[in-house]
Amino acid sequence: MLEVENARVYYGQFLALEDVSLTLPDRGITALIGANAAGKTTTLRVISGVLPLRSGRVRSDGSDLAGCSPEERVRRGIVHVPEGRKLFGTLTVEENLLVGGYQRRKSTSYRKTLDRVYDLFPRLAERRDQPAGSLSGGEQQMCAVGRGLMAQPRLLLIDEMSLGLAPVVVKSMFEFVRQVAAEDVSVLIVEQQVQHALLVADHATIIDKGVTTRSGTASDLRDDPVVKEAYLGV
């Protein structure tokens, strides 16, 4: 279980997170939703160790992660798939995947993990020798998620997975995420497509202007009149 407690973060003098708290279970999908600039991406960066806290704390299985580098967090199973995919365009699909698994390269399950990624994303297997930069947007997103899976995460953070993708591809990507979560991986997704996120997620937290305002089951939030009006256009 991972817990974020009263996180407060600044970018220079700008207050990005004022008071963010959330609890992520050991398995299942949690959606972090909110408007643009609400603090969703910043929250993921705090969890993965890219951004330091001004106050508050992040704990994994009861252990405070203060001072724990992003690399160490990956070793602990906290893996971040950033917005924009951030692939190495001139490297092949398989080379990109292997970069994601670098810290696990001596593990006996290393090759099995690669095979698992190809089973989950058959299109990547078909294009394993192509430069990643030649892939379509949807294929690049598959590669980005697959690269994250190569690190054998216990907690997978996925930022704006649907950004710039066609609706049919978005639907497929959410189905892939559900398959990943079914394999005892906890997944935290940041999404502006609130309807999609609340349909696929088990739990959800809403963040508004750097403050978490609501948390609960995804079904409860879907039925919440305030959420319907503010985020679902109902």
pLDDT in tens, 47-77: 999 999 999 999 999 999 999 999 999 999 9
For residue 169, is pLDDT > 70?
Answer: yes
Assign 143 a pLDDT band (cuts: 50, 70, 90): very high
For residue 98, is pLDDT > 90?
Answer: yes
If we measure between CA atoms, which residue out of 232, 197, 234 comes closest to residue 218? Answer: 197
Q: What is the dihedral of CA 112, 118, 124, 126, to 10 degrees?
A: 100
Element (H, E) at 16: strand 14-24
- For the domain covering 2-77+154-232, report its CATH number: 3.40.50.300
Assign 157 a pLDDT band (cuts: 50, 70, 90): very high
- Other residues' Cβ atoms within 10 Å of the Cβ of residue 122: 10
Phi, psi (rounded to 5 degrees) for 221: -70, -35
> How far apart (Å, rounded) are the C-alpha atoms in residues 177 and 151?
16
For residue 4, is pLDDT > 80?
Answer: yes
Write out the residue limits of the CATH 3.40.50.300 domain(s) in the chain. 2-77+154-232
Two structure tokens written together for 104: 């696990």
Query: Given this model, what pLDDT does residue 134 score?
Result: 97
Q: Determine the Cα angle at 131 with ends 105 and 167, to 5°.
A: 100
Two structure tokens written together for 2: 């991972």
The residues, any chain, with a CB within 8 Å of residue 139's CB and separated by 6 or more, are 123, 124, 127
For residue 108, is pLDDT > 90?
Answer: no
Query: Given this model, what pLDDT does residue 234 score?
Result: 60
- Kindly state the average pLDDT of the residues 219-228: 94
> Which amino acid, 75?
R
For residue 219, is pLDDT > 80?
Answer: yes
The reported pTM is: 0.93
For residue 107, is pLDDT > 80?
Answer: no
- Kindly state the average pLDDT of the residues 202-223: 96
> pLDDT averaged over the chain?
94
